[in-house]
Amino acid sequence: MISPPFMRRIFIDELTIAARIGILEHELRATQPIYVNAEFDTVVEQTTNDKDIDSVLDYRQLRQTIIECCTQQHVNLLETLIEHTAQTIMQKFPSIQRVYLRISKPQAFSDCAGVGIAIELTR
């Protein structure tokens, strides 16, 4: 087992969320799917206890925070949504030293798999 302190990277791939996002008329009337990819670099300062989830940063909490940020209200711009989400994560989880988020709209254009924004924040 690795002795602390060290960095651990947690990731979430292709989290699909029905979001109220967009500034166009049709986007104001209904939800649309967004895909969220995320990486979190966290400082590990204690030995992992295999019988205690509180000995690690629980990725369920990270997932839930992303979902809440992306569904609590209508947001016009992806830039606004991604900045708010990244800042919320950094505030809520002080052990995180770096957050990388990528949010895409898969239905924005018919001729590509998606379009979106990526952001990286570090302490």
Could you read off the pLDDT of 47-102 as tens digits, one per residue?
A: 888 888 887 899 999 999 999 999 999 999 999 999 999 999 999 999 999 999 99
Question: Is position 19 within any domain?
Answer: yes
Question: Is position 1 within any domain?
Answer: no
Question: Is position 116 within any domain?
Answer: no
- Token duo for residue 92: 């809520």
Q: What is the mean pLDDT of the chain?
A: 94
The pair phi, psi for residue 115, each rounded to 5°, is -140, 145
Q: 13-27, 40-54, 108-122 — which is least confidently predicted?
A: 40-54
Q: pLDDT confidence of 109, banded at 50, 70, 90?
A: very high
Question: Is position 77 within any domain?
Answer: yes
Name the domain count of the chain.
1
Q: For the chain, state the CA radius of gyration.
A: 16
Question: Is position 121 within any domain?
Answer: no
**Per-residue pLDDT for 31 more than 90?**
yes
**pLDDT at residue 77 in the model:** 96
d(CA 110, CA 121): 31
Q: Measured in Å, how far apart are the chain's first and last C-alpha atoms?
A: 27
Question: Is position 94 within any domain?
Answer: yes
Strand partners, 6: 44
The CATH number of whichever domain residue 79 belongs to comes to 3.30.1130.10
Q: Which domain holds residue 89?
A: 6-107
d(CA 106, CA 108): 6
Question: Is position 117 within any domain?
Answer: no
Question: Is position 101 within any domain?
Answer: yes
Note the Cα 114 to chain centre separation in Å.
Answer: 17
